[in-house]
Amino acid sequence: MSLAEDRVIRASARNGWLLSTPALVLLFVAAAGPLLIMLVYSFLTPGQYGNVVGEFSWDGWVGILWSQDIFSGEWVLADAHMTIFWRSLSLSMMTTLFTFVVGFPTAWFIATRPASQRAMWLFLITIPFWTNLLIRTYAINEVLRKEGLVNMILLKLGVIDVPLEMLYGPFAIFVGMTYVYLPLMVLPLFAAIDRFDMNLLEAGYDLYASRMQVLRRVILPIVKPGIIAGSILVFVPSLGAYVTPRVLGGGKQMMIGNFIDLQFGQGRNWPLGAALSMALLVIVMVALLVYVRYASRDGSKSHG
Amino acid sequence: MVRASFSVARLPGFASTAILVFVALYLPIFTLVAYSFNASQSVAVWGGFSLDWYAKAWANQQVKEATVRSLVIAVSAAGIATTVATMAALGTTRRRAFKGQTFIYVMINQPLMVPEIVTAVALLILFGIIKQATGIQGLGYVILAHSAFCIPFAYLPIRARLEGMDLTLETAAADLYATPWQTFRRVTLPLLAPGIVAGAMLAFVISLDDVVITEFVKSGGQDTLPTYMLGQLRRQLTPEMNAISAMLLALTLVLLTAFFLLTRKKD
């Protein structure tokens, strides 16, 4: 490589860094940097009225799974915390599964529309995605409540005699999360199906495969990267959900997000809140890493 | 006969499921909007058509202040985020891959990966320290937080536009003795404009819709429209809530349609 060429390349890299610097500074100050401070806070001691005092302690991290008995000072496994973790995990998994079950046919439907209509159907999926999450959650609240649409219809049809109590519980949270995160499943699924070669279906049917066999043996393996992308995109925000469980869970049915909030409010245990946040972050990062690993391995390997 | 009805891409039950999904997606929103025209005092009973709740929301001082505050934050944050995102997009596309480029991508996309509640409490801690040390209050903290998480949303459409742009035009300008600045100002920037506008609109919508981070970062009396609504959801609801939601929905819809038209690929 000539000296001049080398200099040009180095100048190009320098300009790249210089142009990116303002964005990087802003992101470091108000997005990535605060996480480091929070990590420090998770190793400190709670102050009496919230905040922390500068004394090292493991209690924040230990407190994720164990809680200290007020009288004996003994550490025991915290059942209440387990309930919240299990609720978060199971609701997030159910949401992911259900959005896939209804999202896959939807994505397939959009991808098989004539090219002129496809953009319109996609736009219809995208609108709710960009619509205020709080408004969509409130809309679900309106549909599920005692005098809401679902009860009204069921009463009219004579299916039930008394309105169902659907609000403020795991069921309402599940419905709400499925509703708000569904577009996140449909969009990557659509992207994967859109690239799918429909001639493969013909080949499958020519070889006497049934529809079920074609779906299981041909379609699903090929669109797998889309399935994984959609699942991660739904699972990650579900696990960290805050607004939906707060509005539809009625305060008592907390998920991890609300539990973290509680530590910074009434709980007055900032180190525990910080440790819980870091733990949630680690779980999310592991999920994303698994996805990146899988996606890059899948990309380098050709099908067939 | 059998052949004609057999389409390879058709799978039984898929189309009907999809239609049901679209209905389920829009029915709650339509119900919400419909009840904003409800003359009745309660959200439960339909009492005829009326625009009273819109008038009431319009006259509500708290709603008015929250709306203005939301707009000030969204305009400032979208402006800042779009400016730095445009620079970063110019810095990370159309040049030889350089050392640390992956780091820049990861940093820019970081707000998309970290759960909002985690960023929210981390900012609560950081801004708490700064407020205590300097005594500075104000809307600046909220604008700063919004600017940061809006960056990836502004960056992605700008980068997509840049990657699809024809390099030869800029080479031609340089051949005609345009200075780098002239080339940027007269050639690159006009070609990039739709991407920048699209990025700014996404950033604006994202900022306008944010609840979680705002809820934790704001000081007392700094409610935005979404945090005001979150606070109201705890109380007895009136259709005024639906009217506010409907107006916010209408604004989002207008911006999204404009975004859709701007980024549509020309056939």
On whether the CB atoms of residues A93 and A174 are closer than 8 A, the answer is: no
Cβ–Cβ contact A19 with B under 8 A: yes
Residues of chain B below pLDDT 70: 1-6, 8, 42-44, 236, 265-267
A286 touches chain B (CB under 8 A): no
The contacts of residue A183 (CB under 8 Å, 6+ apart) are A125, A126, A128, A129
Residues of B whose CB is below 8 A from A28: 107
Q: Dihedral sign for Cα A35, A38, A42, A44, please.
A: positive
Give the other-Cβ count within 10 Å of A104's Cβ: 26
More confident call, A106 vs A4:
A106
Q: Count other C-beta atoms under 10 Å from residue A48's C-beta.
A: 7
Q: Does residue B254 sit at the A interface (CB-CB below 8 Å)? A: no
**Nearest Cβ partner of B28 from A9, A140, A261?**
A140
Q: Letter for the amino acid at B26?
A: Y
Q: Which of B50, B75, B41 is nearest to B251 (CA)?
A: B75
B83, B88, B123 member nearest A20 (Cβ) = B88
Question: Which ranges in A112-169 belong to alpha helices (H)?
Answer: 115-130, 133-144, 149-157
HSE at residue A250, side-chain half, CA atoms within 13 A, is 11
Q: Are strands A66-68 and A52-53 parallel, antiparallel or unpaired?
A: unpaired
User: Distance (Å, rounded) from C-alpha A96 to C-alpha A161?
Assistant: 33
Q: Supply the ipTM of this predicted assembly.
A: 0.85
Scanning every residue of chain A, which has its alpha carbon at the shortest distance from the alpha carbon of B15?
Answer: A109
Q: Which residues fall within 8 angstroms of residue A121, CB to CB, at 6 or more apart?
A: A109, A110, A113
* Contact between B70 and B143 (Cβ < 8 Å): no
Tokens for B145? 């937080």
Nearest CA in chain B to A52: B125
Please report the number of interchain residue pairs, chain A to chain B, with beta-carbon separation below 8 angstroms.
259
What would the pLDDT profile of A245-302 be if each residue is shown by its tens digit? 999 987 778 898 999 999 888 888 899 999 999 999 999 898 888 877 776 665 444 4
pLDDT score recorded for residue B6: 57
The predicted pLDDT at position B259 comes to 80
Q: Which residues in chain B are closer than 8 Å to A112, comparing Cβ atoms?
A: 9-10
Q: Does A35 contact B32 at a Cβ distance shorter than 8 Å? A: no
Q: A39-72 pLDDT, tens per residue?
A: 999 998 888 777 888 888 888 888 888 887 777 7
pLDDT of residue A295: 67
Residue in A closest to B143 by C-alpha: A30
Average pLDDT, chain A: 86
